[in-house]
Amino acid sequence: MAQLRIALAQVNPTVGDLEGNLRIVVDSARQARDRGAHLLALPEMVVTGYPVEDLALRNSFVSASIKALHRLAAELAAQGLGDLPAVVGFLSRREGPGARYGQPAGAPQNAVAVLHEGAVVVTSAKHHLPNYGVFDEFRNFVPGDTFPVVRVRGVDVGIAVCEDLWQEGGPVTAARAAGVGLLLSLNGSPYERHKDDVRLELCQRRAREVGAALAYVNMVGGQDELVFEGDSLVVDAEGELVARAPQFTEALLVADLDLPAGDDAGRNPGTGPRTDAVPHTDEVVDGLTIVRRTVSTAPVEPYTPDENVVTPRPDPLSDVGEVYRALVTGLRDYVTKNGFASVLVAISGGIDSALTATIAVDAVGADRVHGVLLPSEYSSGHSITDAEELARRQGFAARTIAIAPVVEAFEAATAKAGAALDGLSAENLQARVRGTVVMALSNQEGHLVLATGNKSEAATGYSTLYGDSVGGFAPIKDCWKTLVWELSRWRNAEAVREGAVPPIPENSIEKPPSAELRPDQLDTDSLPDYALLDSVLDAYIGTDKGEAELIFAGYDPELVRRVIRLVDRAEYKRRQSAPGTKISARNLGRDRRLPITNRWTV
């Protein structure tokens, strides 16, 4: 057996910031060197950030990524870090034949490279391209057809990229056939609820299938609607957890491993005879050519290993706590990476705006959060006092701009033109005046406006287009209303546990929700009870169950038809909504794409 200390750099790159991302890699290499690592790995496409979407189709961007990779190799050597092999993801292109029918022009590839002593030792590309949910990789990339195996300190290390681990066959089969001692997986795997449990089980299963230890490095941070949670980990050949990084924070996970040394027959001595071993030269397994390169053959001198970090989270996050951290991370990086100095939230005293403001304070600090109260003639006294109390508890600035005079001016103008407003038109006018005011403040003062709508409202269209739906980012867009309450109670409980004042007034959580656009209005006047509504919505949107399936599942037929009608009619509104952090397996953005003009209703 051979000893090997590996370092997994769980970092937060920014799409398009090649120079900034290169600095991240160099800094990570320096930390890994200081920790005595023999091999460093960074996430999928760390050089360019991920996902790059249609930037991959720009020849200039692909060329810049390739040049940046070679600059990175030279810079690592110049900084005295060249002797540490570094495995990095980058954007490349397929060499060889020209354009092929059905493939993106320019043949871009989601690639990986091994850097050592100022040179690029080997490159390869992701083989399995995901094309479901938020992924469009068949649109942006062409698949790779090689599986790289690099000998480092006498250990054969196979390299796969993200989806290559999630899919059967391909790189997983090649890794077993190649007899690797360690399978290294570079990932840009977005957060979803409960995914950390699925991820660990997957890594354990793959390690047992390959018969080798497995190291999984994932990026962290927000990119538009996506959040990456990190949760990098290492398991041994039996699938036992060796080390694991924290969620939602940058970290360098270092693990000491005892691994079988490679031999020239493509087998690992000590693992017994391998009937599936293949020749050393021009190995082709499951459509992939196994490409072997050598960085170093001499094993590491025996040393006393550090204690591997199996549970770096002494107080693991609960399910709701994970979601909250994801929402904070998504908003923080959207604000920071897009250069906004501050955010603006219209606080009504209700639970949605209260949670949105709380997430904002936790994400960017109270001094960068600005609240505005926009009471109308129908706003209750407790709504105003609850909003004021929210700002006081959290220490952010808030001002009041009464909208009644503006609404009256609009109503007088339309009445004079023979178009007096009443009913829903009058209600929507109030919301649109509020939307106009917050966007005017945004333009004047440079704030990013945060839309406060939740997933239940977006699904059913229970919002006013160009009114309460306005904003540049929607932090709770992927949260059902029932989850909004859960998150609010969790955040208050965390404050109590830490000896702090709960940030959200209890009245905002407990009172019945209301848009307050007419006297004594409640959400239940227009919608079913949220617990029941969210259950139907989650089945219809989350699993694509149709009318018959929902009724068969026990839901009231009239309720099912009503909810389906609301959801389908609101598609045009959702197309115009702000982006928001994805936390579910099926959000109302890139995960679910339906035609607006659509007569299919069952």
Distance, in Å, from the CA atom of 379 to the CA atom of 382, rounded to the nearest integer, reads: 8
DSSP bridge pairs for 114: 87, 122
Could you list the active site residues? 44, 126, 162
Distance, in Å, from the CA atom of 484 to the CA atom of 488, rounded to the nearest integer, reads: 6
Helix (H, G, I), strand (E, B) or coil at 132: coil
Tokens representing residue 581 in the block: 């952090």
Q: What is the pTM of this model?
A: 0.91
DSSP 8-state assignment for residue 98 = -
All structural domains of the chain: 2-271+280-294 (3.60.110.10), 319-574 (3.40.50.620)
- Phi, psi (rounded to 5 degrees) for 397: -70, 140
- Alpha carbon distances (Å) from 601 to 312, 545, 593: 49, 12, 15
pLDDT of residue 282: 63
Counting every residue written for the chain, the total comes to 602
pLDDT of residue 278: 38
pLDDT of residue 51: 95
Cβ neighbors of 455 (< 8 A, separation 6 or more) are 476, 477, 478, 479, 480, 481, 483, 537, 584, 587, 588
Sign of the C-alpha dihedral, residues 513, 468, 391, 322?
Answer: positive
Question: Pairing mode, if any, of strands 146-152 and 119-125?
Answer: unpaired
Identify the CA nearest to 451 among candidates 472, 433, 431.
472
Distance, in Å, from the CA atom of 466 to the CA atom of 4, rounded to the nearest integer, reads: 58
Cβ neighbors of 106 (< 8 A, separation 6 or more) are 57, 59, 62, 93
Q: Are 151 and 297 in contact (CB under 8 A)?
A: yes
What amino acid is encoded at 192 in this protein?
E
In the chain, which stretches have pLDDT less than 50?
A: 265-280, 311-314
pLDDT of residue 99: 63
Q: Are 533 and 567 in contact (CB under 8 A)?
A: no
Tokens representing residue 122 in the block: 């080997």
DSSP calls for 20-82: HHHHHHHHHHHHHHHTT-SEEE--TTTTT-S--GGGGG-HHHHHHHHHHHHHHHHHHHHTT-T
Q: Name the CA radius of gyration of the chain, rounded.
A: 27
Sign of the C-alpha dihedral, residues 578, 226, 315, 10?
Answer: negative
Distance, in Å, from the CA atom of 136 to the CA atom of 326, rounded to the nearest integer, reads: 23
pLDDT of residue 306: 81
pLDDT of residue 314: 42
- Phi, psi (rounded to 5 degrees) for 577: -90, 160
Tokens representing residue 495 in the block: 């404050």
DSSP bridge pairs for 149: 158, 292
How many CB atoms sit inside 10 A of residue 456's CB? 23
